[in-house]
C-alpha cells in the first residue's frame, strides 16, 4: 500500500486497489445492483442526470423533483442492500476510522456521462470524510476549494484509485468533466463506477 498524495487537501490513494481487488468489488456490486437496480436521478429542477445511480447502506442519497436527500429505501420501496465488506474495508484503511459510513452511493457513468461541479452537503456533520472509489474507465475529475470562486484544477482518476475528501477539503467543490471511454477493460461494456462513501449523521 503506497502513501497518499495530497492535492488541495484532497488525499489521493493512487492504484490503491489492484486488478484482483477491483474485480472482486465489481462482483460484489453486481449483487447489490440485482437487489437495488440503477435508476435515473432527476434534479429538483426536473433535469435528468447523465449518471445512473443506486446505493447500499442504511441510507441512500436520492434526488428527484422533491429534492436532494437521504432515504432508507430504494425508489422501489425495498431497503438498500448492506454495504459490501470489501467496500467497508477500503473505508477503514484510508480513514483509520472505527465508525462505518451510512451510505455507499454507486454512480455509473456510461459514454458521455459527467457530473457538474458541486459540494457534498446533504449530511449532518461535515467533520466525517467522504471516500470515493473509481472503477473502470478513467475520469477527468475537477477539484476546487470550498469557495466556488477559488478556481479549480483537474486530475485523471483511474480504476483502483481512492480519493478522500476530508478536513478542509470536505466541502470542496468537485465534479467529473468527462470519461476516457474504453480506457479500462474492467467493465466488459466499458463505463465507470464511482463509489462515494459518506457518514450521513442524521
Ligand atoms: O464520480 C466521482 O468521482 C464523483 C462523484 C461525486 O462527487 C458524488 O457522487 O457526489
Ligand atoms: Mn460529490
Scanning the structure block, which residue is given the C-alpha cell 474485480?
23
Scanning the structure block, which residue is given the C-alpha cell 425508489?
75
The pLDDT value given to residue 3: 85
Quote the percentage of the chain above a pLDDT of 70.
99
Q: Is the CB of 115 under 6 A from ligand 1?
A: yes
pLDDT at residue 195 above 80? Answer: yes
Q: Could you count the other beta carbons within 10 Å of the beta carbon of residue 24?
A: 14
CATH code: domain of residue 154: 2.60.120.590
Residue 21 counted as domain residue = yes
Residue 63 counted as domain residue = yes
pTM above 0.85, yes or no: yes
The structural domain count of the chain equals 1
Residue 2 counted as domain residue = no
The pLDDT value given to residue 46: 97
Q: Over the chain, what is the mean pLDDT?
A: 97
| Residues contacting residue 125 through CB under 8 Å, at least 6 positions apart | 199, 201
User: Which of 115, 126, 155, 198, when mutated, tests ligand 1's pocket best, judged by the most ligand atoms within 8 Å of its CB?
Assistant: 115
The pLDDT value given to residue 174: 98
Do 101 and 197 touch, CB atoms closer than 8 A? Answer: yes
pLDDT at residue 1 above 80? Answer: no
Nearest partner of 125 among 56, 201, 179, 40, judged by Cα? 201
Do 36 and 29 touch, CB atoms closer than 8 A? Answer: no
Q: Is the CB of 176 under 6 A from ligand 1?
A: yes
| Sheet-wide strand order for 192-198 | 5-7, 10-13, 162-165, 130-136, 192-198, 103-109, 52-57
User: Rounded mean pLDDT of 3-27?
Assistant: 96
- Tell me which of 5 and 1 has the higher pLDDT: 5
Residue 1 counted as domain residue = no
Helix (H) or strand (E) holding 28: helix 19-35
Q: Which ligand is nearest to the CA of 135?
A: 1
For residue range 165-189, list pLDDT tens digits in order. 999 999 999 999 999 999 999 999 9
pLDDT at residue 140 above 70? Answer: yes
Can you give the residue range of the structural domain that contains 53?
7-198
180 forms beta bridges with: 138
Amino acid at each position: 500500500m503506497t502513501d497518499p498524495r495530497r492535492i488541495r487537501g484532497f488525499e489521493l490513494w493512487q492504484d490503491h486497489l489492484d486488478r484482483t481487488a477491483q474485480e472482486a468489488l465489481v462482483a460484489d456490486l453486481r449483487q447489490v445492483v440485482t437487489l437495488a437496480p440503477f435508476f435515473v436521478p432527476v434534479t429538483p429542477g426536473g433535469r435528468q442526470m447523465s449518471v445512473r445511480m443506486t446505493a447500499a447502506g442504511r441510507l441512500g442519497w436520492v434526488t428527484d423533483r422533491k429534492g436532494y436527500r437521504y432515504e432508507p429505501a430504494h425508489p422501489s420501496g425495498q431497503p438498500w442492500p448492506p454495504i459490501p465488506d470489501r467496500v467497508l474495508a477500503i473505508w477503514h484503511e484510508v480513514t483509520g476510522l472505527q465508525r462505518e459510513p451510512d451510505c455507499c452511493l454507486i454512480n455509473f457513468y456510461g459514454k458521455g456521462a459527467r457530473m457538474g461541479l458541486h459540494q457534498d452537503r446533504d449530511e449532518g456533520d461535515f467533520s466525517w470524510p467522504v471516500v470515493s472509489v473509481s472503477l473502470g474507465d478513467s475520469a477527468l475529475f475537477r477539484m476546487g476549494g470550498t469557495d466556488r470562486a477559488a478556481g479549480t484544477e483537474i486530475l485523471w482518476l483511474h480504476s483502483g484509485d481512492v480519493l478522500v475528501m476530508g478536513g478542509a477539503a470536505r466541502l470542496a467543490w468537485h465534479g467529473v468533466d468527462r470519461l476516457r471511454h474504453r480506457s479500462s477493460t474492467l467493465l466488459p461494456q466499458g463505463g465507470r463506477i464511482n463509489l462515494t462513501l459518506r457518514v450521513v449523521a442524521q
